[in-house]
Amino acid sequence: MTAIAPEMQAPASAFDTVPALTAADRCDATTTTIREGSGSANPRVPCGAQAYVTALFPSGSTLQFCAHHGHNLEASLVQKGAVIRDDSGVLQQNTKPGASA
């Protein structure tokens, strides 16, 4: 009964309007690694791994990356004005008990 009108809410987080990543979200990065056995010159191979890192740009557009690419690209993304949300912490939560070093 005490719903707050949207215009009354402060923009606490730029990510409020960005949906959470799901298992269906895939890394937007491409790699220059040529897959062994491909035999063809295809220098832009989509990563395609599950996405855990979201980069939100001032324009409102987003890119999603796997933990590997998200961490590798974070500095350059921030330089371009992106805000990073790193959900890769769930990776630790999903590891088997006793497997941690």
Q: 53-56 and 83-86: which strand pairing? A: antiparallel
Half-sphere exposure of 75 (CA within 13 A, CB side): 1
Of 29 and 56, which CB lies nearer to Zn ion in the complex structure? 29
Question: How far is residue 21's CA from residue 25's CA, in Å, rounded to a whole number?
Answer: 6
**Single residue of 14, 18, 45, 49 touching Zn ion by CB under 5 A:** 49
Structure tokens at 70: 């998200």
**Single residue of 21, 53, 66, 82 touching Zn ion by CB under 5 A:** 66
- Distance spanning both ends of the chain, measured CA to CA: 49
**Residue 18 binds Zn ion, judged by CB under 5 A:** no
**Residue 53 binds Zn ion, judged by CB under 5 A:** no
Of 66 and 77, which CB lies nearer to Zn ion in the complex structure? 66
Can you give the binding site for Zn ion, defined by CB under 5 A? 27, 29, 47, 49, 66, 69
